[in-house]
Amino acid sequence: MPGAPDDGLASVCRVRGLTWGPPRLGPVRYERRVAFHAMVTLWGGLPAQEPWTILLDTNGNLIEWHRVAGVPEVRSRDGLYQIAEDLEPRSVRASGAAARASAWSDWWRAREREWERAVGRLRDDELGRLSSFFAARVEEEEERSRHRTPSEGADIQEGDVTSLKLEWERRAQEVRQRWALRTEVRLWGLEEWAWPLADLEQELRAGAVHLRLTSAVDVARGRPAVPLCPTCGTPADMLVRARGSVACVNCGPQ
Ligand SMILES: [Zn+2]
């Protein structure tokens, strides 16, 4: 079968107490998709740069997001092609605006959180070293002042501890600033694709139970989408027999 694995949905969804019938692939249709190419720089501590590729439909809905340059795993021989004509400016503006307004910000916030966790540990290590250094100095200073006579001037000793604490705070602030996160996103390219898709139908069987499932196949990659659970409607990578019906592991018997 062109564009889908021979075992159809069995390649993405395991079953227990059920068997898959033969898959039937419908006609290939083409869907317009827009790929946004961006270079993302994460500043703070150890700056990093990474290319992003974000694939949207023409309404600006997210289809895929990858932290690499270009759309991965595409087998161009399967009919995928890039649309050479100029993009209609309005549709690009609309999808770009939609992308920025909604999903874009979510993705890079998620990425920032991940980044913050990674560099946060290094920042906290540095702050920890600074704290133990200054805490020891303050303690020394306080110890020394206890051994001084009042005539040597309690004010001066008090002042030494205070300036140590101020210096400590100033240095800690510097460390926090140096590790502060800032994300810069530079959009540098747009591509429009005609993406081949097809519907795949396949029956699940167990005794008298015959249930037909459908799923969209990404023909460019030869990969069907995970089917939805017939009982609860969530994507399921495993289906089981459940009291004369079919369920996933989340809603069915454990
Ligand atoms: Zn379910």
Query: Alpha carbon of 23 to those of 17, 41, 50, 179: distances in Å?
Result: 19, 45, 40, 54
Ligand 1 centre to CA of 240 (Å) is: 9
Determine the pLDDT at residue 54.
85
Ligand 1 centre to CA of 22 (Å) is: 23
Q: What is the largest CA-CA distance in the chain?
A: 101
> How far, in Å, CA of 3 to CA of 220, rounded?
7
pLDDT tens by residue, 164-197: 999 999 999 999 988 888 878 787 878 888 888 9
pLDDT tens by residue, 105-127: 677 778 778 888 888 888 999 99
- If one compares 62 and 152, the residue with the highest pLDDT of the two is 62
Ligand 1 centre to CA of 235 (Å) is: 8
Ligand 1 centre to CA of 31 (Å) is: 29
Query: Alpha carbon of 212 to those of 23, 59, 100: distances in Å?
Result: 10, 30, 38
Amino acid in position 10 = A
The first and second tokens of residue 118, run together, are 């990674």
Amino acid in position 70 = G
Of the candidates 204, 224, 210, the residue with the CA atom closest to the CA atom of residue 1? 224
Determine the pLDDT at residue 23.
94
Assess contact for 78 and 193: CB atoms under 8 A.
Answer: no
Ligand 1 centre to CA of 195 (Å) is: 30
Of the candidates 132, 34, 52, the residue with the CA atom closest to the CA atom of residue 89? 34
pLDDT tens by residue, 5-49: 899 999 999 999 899 999 999 998 988 888 888 888 888 777 889
Cβ atoms within 10 Å of 246's Cβ, excluding its own: 22
- Least confident range from 78-92, 103-117, 145-159: namely 78-92
Write the CB contacts of 85 (distance below 8 Å, at least 6 apart in sequence). none
Ligand 1 centre to CA of 202 (Å) is: 18
Ligand 1 centre to CA of 216 (Å) is: 19
- Provide the percentage of residues in the chain whose pLDDT is more than 70: 83
Cβ atoms within 10 Å of 117's Cβ, excluding its own: 9
- Provide the percentage of residues in the chain whose pLDDT is more than 90: 33
Q: Which residues surround ligand 1, an ion (CB under 5 A)?
A: 229, 231-232, 247-248, 251
Ligand 1 centre to CA of 3 (Å) is: 27
The whole-chain average pLDDT of the chain stands at 82
